[in-house]
A and B are shown apart, each in its own frame.
Chain A
Amino acid sequence: MILAGLDVGALWTKAVILKDGAVAVYSVARTGDMAEEAAEQCLNGVLASAGISRSDVAAVAVTGVGKKLIPFADKQVSEIVSAAKGIQYLYPDMEGVIDLGGESTRVVKFEAGGGIVDYAQNDKCAAGTGMFLDAMSKVMGIKVEDMGALSLQSTAEVNITSMCVAFAESEVVSQVHRQTPKKDIVRGIHKSIASRVYGMVNSVGLSEKNMVIGGLALNVGIIACLEELMKIKLAVPENPRIISAIGAAFAASQQGE
């Protein structure tokens, strides 16, 4: 059976094709202004590269912030379920997932291979952690991809305490004006994000059997700060950005049986 999974985020759209129980092919593209076109092109592109015609696809499932704007999808799946199902599909013994997305962050606890037990999503004030990092990279003149490695070199303790993104930005600006070394500020930013995620992990009571997914999972700085707080080694799947798209397709297939 061939299934398609789409994850339409604020910044990026991800498409995945599941064929005979394995990930056949995937692609990631900018969402831009028009979500529906972006999703359409992304899907057709990935089908073409796998030599599969649209008619062979049993079901197209969509998740992510823009899911309601994709008319051609057969099934809409919430971000929470798709994050959980994505991990269960690839790692059946896992019991939890930390999804560090561009638009918002969530922590989901579930029984191994079973239903969701509890979940938490970040509150309004800390929304947009991905957007926050974009803004910080502009203010400090550092590319987002380099922030992770840079923060690992930091030794000093700089506190970026505010939960609110707009407010944290003014804190970062004042640190920059005070000539604080960039690597310490970036580590402060990552610590503030990690401590917010740690709060959610605690409220849900996540066990060690969990994995970190989403765009920010590639940021080694955030992962290091989170490991420091949670006092465990965190596992990040090979391609953390497409897990939710996989989960959406997997949820569609289960529902199909």
Chain B
Amino acid sequence: MNQQNHDRAESLPIPAPDLKVIDQMQIGFVKRFTDVKQAKLEGKPVVYTTVLAPREILQAMGVPYVFGNVLGAYVSIFGYSAKYCQIAEDLGLSREVCAAHRCTVGLSQHDEREDFFNLAYTEPDLVIGSNFPCSAESKSFLYVIDRYKTPSYIIDTPANTWKCPVPEHAVTYLARQYQGMIRFLEENGYTLDMDKLREEVAFSKRLNELIAEVEVYRRAVPTPIKAYDSVIAACTPLLVSKESGAELLFEKLRDELKERVDNGIGIVPNERLRLLWIGIPPLCDFKLLNYPEKHGAVVAKSLVEFLTGFNLDPDLIDPDNPLESLARASISSPINPTSQGMVDYFVQAVKDYRIDGVVSITKRTCCLLPGSQRLIKDAIFKETGVPSVIFDLDCIDARDYDAAAAHANLDSFVEILMAKKGAAS
């Protein structure tokens, strides 16, 4: 990583990338933001949407798009949460509303933005919203519509309360919404070439297969990838397209990880404890994920998928039946807001990643996760005997973040896990 990037990274409150390919991914992001800016100059209507909308359709129709909640996450990561949350609150938005979405709303309502956001944020002409996965997600885009008075379309994804397999009438309903989204885009000057859509869906299938391979290497002991790197990797499918070489980047990531795993190289010299981080990662202080490393405890997996959307199950994706298969994969995703899907996912993750302890953080303003923490904790303990700790951590809005309490909680939990492991060995 060249010196200039290193200084920039040092200055930012984010950890410096560890794996070489991560830096190239970040360069890919910058390219995406400039492409969207370029498209806007060429007069193409820019779409503001959510990571859980079907981006295969947007790619196939050549639509430039901006992800609201990813930018909201960057607001917190780069340390501007206090400023943009205050802007949202000055509109009258309550402080009990989701902190991540207060950052997102604040960013869209204010024009004096820092350089990164001037680049990354492009004023939208159209909005495609979704009620998935939570109430905050299904409301915050209304402020973008209200500000820019844009035409909008809302995708209503059914909650997965049937457990798998998902019934046909739900898949048909969601697939019909995707058709509605296509019609909405066609009414605003875009055209759909079905072959292009099949190509994009095939690429999505391929990418998800690659990501599944990367996940296998991520489970190795010792952990080969730092938490921050895994966040950048999770954002890559969203921000780097087929043409910009997303496939190549993931192949490089797989190979870099493979090399580390084959040579037993971990992110810490003596890895003694493996933690699973459930809940929104600590965006306003990412280095907190590296904090337990001083005890030899690593965060083997952090649930960034709640920000970037879970990767779809490649077996469910079928290019010959693009809309139906995307709909089925989307409803079956673990992020779908009922706990059964989440509980099974976490119990499996504890086994796959050989986890010793689960850190389950309660973000006070979240409406999706706190209700399931006890259920997940009990299910994991019953199935695997692995203990979880639940504690308060407001880690998006820096004004509510208390590093001292977070460190004290992590120290206590690690101390107890060490004693447990010590007694066992």
Contacts and interface: CB of A to CB of B under 8 A. Distances in A.
- The answer to whether A and B interact is yes
Interface of A: 65, 77-81, 114-121, 123-125, 203
B379 interface: no
B416 A123 contact: no
A110 B169 CA distance: 50
Question: A interface, by DSSP: helix, strand, loop or mixed?
Answer: mixed
Nearest to B390: A120
A116 B392 contact: no
B364 interface: yes
Question: B interface, by DSSP: helix, strand, loop or mixed?
Answer: helix
Nearest to B388: A118
A124 B405 contact: yes
A121 B410 CA distance: 12
Interface in B391-425: 391-392, 394, 402, 405, 408-409, 411-412, 415-416, 419-420, 423
A65 B412 CA distance: 12
B412 A203 contact: no
Contacts of B423: 114-115
Contacts of B296: none
A124 B364 contact: yes
Nearest to A79: B412
B409 A121 contact: yes
A106 B411 CA distance: 15
A116 B337 CA distance: 33
A118 B387 contact: yes
Contacts of A80: 412, 415-416
A24 to B, nearest CB: 26
A119 B420 contact: no
B389 A119 contact: yes
B390 A115 contact: no
A116 B419 contact: yes
Given A78-B415, A120-B390, A124-B364, A203 B374 contact: yes
Given A78-B416, A80-B415, A115-B419, 18 more contacts: A78-B415, A81-B412, A81-B415, A81-B416, A81-B419, A114-B423, A115-B420, A115-B423, A116-B416, A117-B387, A118-B381, A119-B412, A119-B416, A120-B390, A123-B362, A124-B392, A124-B402, A203-B390
Contacts of A117: 387
Contacts of A81: 412, 415-416, 419
Contacts of A79: 412
Contacts of B419: 81, 115-116
Nearest to B389: A119
The 10 closest A-B pairs by CB, nearest first: A78-B412, A124-B392, A123-B392, A80-B412, A116-B416, A78-B415, A115-B420, A115-B423, A115-B419, A81-B415
A78 to B, nearest CB: 4
A161 B362 CA distance: 21
7 contacts: A81-B419, A115-B416, A116-B416, A118-B387, A123-B391, A124-B394, A203-B390
Contacts of A118: 381, 387
Contacts of A121: 391, 409
B393 to A, nearest CB: 9
A118 B358 CA distance: 12
